[in-house]
Amino acid sequence: MYTTEQYFKIQEAIKFLYKSFENVNDDSKPELVHSLHTGFRLMDYGYEVDLVIAGFLHDVVEEGGDLQKIKDLFGEKVFEIVGASSKNASLGDWPEQYVELISRAATSGEDTLIVKAVDILDNFYYMFDTDDEVGKKKVIFLAEQLFKYTNSEDKVFGDLRKIYNEKMKSV
């Protein structure tokens, strides 16, 4: 599905991700593993290489990474998706941050919503395997916000709706 050149570009994104997370010390959720899951899930779905790279890098800015460096290394499209996928921590509480984040992602376009959908999908798998009730509430809220902006028949949105419906039965 991907060319050798594309695989090398993905490899560079994974190296950049790893270096960006070297000093992250957040035990509440394995952010590096989550970012890897997001990128690999996008590959499994067969999305274009820029979406895959954006998936790997989607949390880098929130962990203190340099958005401009992402643009320099991976181009305008990855830069836009990652930028639109990053929370604005200056907004205060998490519901406000998430409403603004998903609204901004929707304004950015379907590619950004696809990356966010896979991000949220992976968060469902992780959070519902923990006792973190606040984390579960946050991922449910994020999914509900995203659903407001898409009626796409794209498989990832269907998969997200499916896991959302399954998990809501257990809440």
Query: pLDDT digits over 97-148, tens only?
Result: 999 999 999 999 999 999 999 999 999 999 999 999 999 999 999 999 999 9
Q: pLDDT at position 15, please?
A: 96
Angle (CA) 68 74 79, round 5° = 50
Q: pLDDT at position 21, please?
A: 82
Q: pLDDT at position 121, please?
A: 97
pTM: 0.94
What is the residue type of 123?
A: N
Query: pLDDT digits over 43-84, tens only?
Result: 999 999 999 999 999 999 877 778 999 999 999 999 999 999
Between CA 45 and CA 155 the distance in angstroms is 8
47 φψ region: left (φ > 0), alpha (ψ -120 to 50), beta (else) = beta
Q: Which two tokens stand for residue 57?
A: 């890098």
Instruction: Return the minimum-mean-pLDDT range out of 85-89, 138-142, 158-162.
Output: 85-89
Give the Cβ contact number of residue 6 at 10 Å: 15
- All residues at 6 or more sequence positions from 154 whose CB lies less than 8 Å from its CB, including other chains: 110, 114
- Identify the CATH number of the domain in which residue 64 sits: 1.10.3210.10
Q: pLDDT at position 152, please?
A: 86
Q: How confident is the model at residue 27 (pLDDT cuts 50, 70, 90)?
A: low
Residue 41 has pLDDT above 70, yes or no: yes
> Is the separation of the CB atoms in 56 and 35 below 8 Å?
yes
Q: How confident is the model at residue 26 (pLDDT cuts 50, 70, 90)?
A: low
Q: How confident is the model at residue 29 (pLDDT cuts 50, 70, 90)?
A: low
Q: How confident is the model at residue 28 (pLDDT cuts 50, 70, 90)?
A: low
> Is the separation of the CB atoms in 65 and 20 below 8 Å?
yes
Residue 42 has pLDDT above 60, yes or no: yes
Between CA 138 and CA 85 the distance in angstroms is 16
Number of domains in the chain: 1
Host domain of residue 28: 4-168
